[in-house]
Structure 1
């Protein structure tokens, strides 16, 4: 069990002070009762056994670089990122939102404070349990790479026809968690996404126009194919495969 120790006097308070919780993904860690993750006057001492009970390696992984967190900073939504990764992400996207979810969007860029509690735990665990992600997760010959990984690219597990972009397992999570992305059309990883987009509207080709014998998007249906005989592209493709057998 951890204790809060005053660094200036070196005197232990001699009682349990971990009454608050620090949220990291789906796990919770005991935190100093001052409730300030960046507190410079107190440090939390966690044993290795305690830390391993509460967290897994995923909890220490930055969802931007997909490596172990370095100089971790936490957003109010509970997600943690490397300080440099989050800063670079905001610089490139030109908007300040959480890279992992859609629930946190800042009108102005907030000042970021290092999460000393999480940083201390990571330093301790790095010596024994934490390691880089397994090499089989990285993109290899014939794989489709994730469009959102920085540095070493991870292989994509899904491509989104709505975005359009390809995502590794970690960067795909917002599509399952965020209400705004849940209705996007996900398919198996595809390196030729542009071929599945309407050249005119840059929307996914989801409809087959039987009148014009062409694949079209929903915008085409409204603007150019009104009254034509149509069907869903996937259904038409399956029926054609059956008839060709």
Structure 2
């Protein structure tokens, strides 16, 4: 019920200056709310300090302090909302199961590389609500999650060591691979993908060139046969 009221107040949580959801909201004396950065920039570029909404003018520039209560409400408003537990589906063939369901398991919605574990909608909720979990690395459901972890440190493989040509975790990067050339795993994946695309394109171009040469040779042979026939 409370979240339904929050949805109806979306306009109240929008900054008139940037037309986006309030960030670091401040409330000025006339009662209107703005992003701290937006209002600061607005006043820096104006000859007078006035409210961008009601145009109320202040004789001296007010000190801006973040509205802590409003900031908490907006965070609740912006928090991802998951579907009710009743809409969940049981894990079927090919699905990744939730590691925390007992009995018949629900289908996992996300896997956490930090925990590491896979979660259904219900058991995933603490990762969106708790400060201790919200910075964890959530990805689409992953099978054999332990294979994504460093065997030595049980941490997610987030880096690629170019020197040893292997995936490593952050702890490995600071210890035995400290002096090696390293990049983020996603960066290396994109680079390999680009290299593969270039290789495939070159092969296709080479194949196309060979086909054209074959067709040209066949056409020349056909012309020669016609000439011989005419003579």
* TM-score w.r.t. length of structure 1: 0.45
Please tell me whether Structure 1 or Structure 2 has the larger radius of gyration of its CA atoms: 2
Q: Which has the higher helix share?
A: 2
* Greater relative CO, 1 or 2 (CA 8 Å, sep 6+): 1
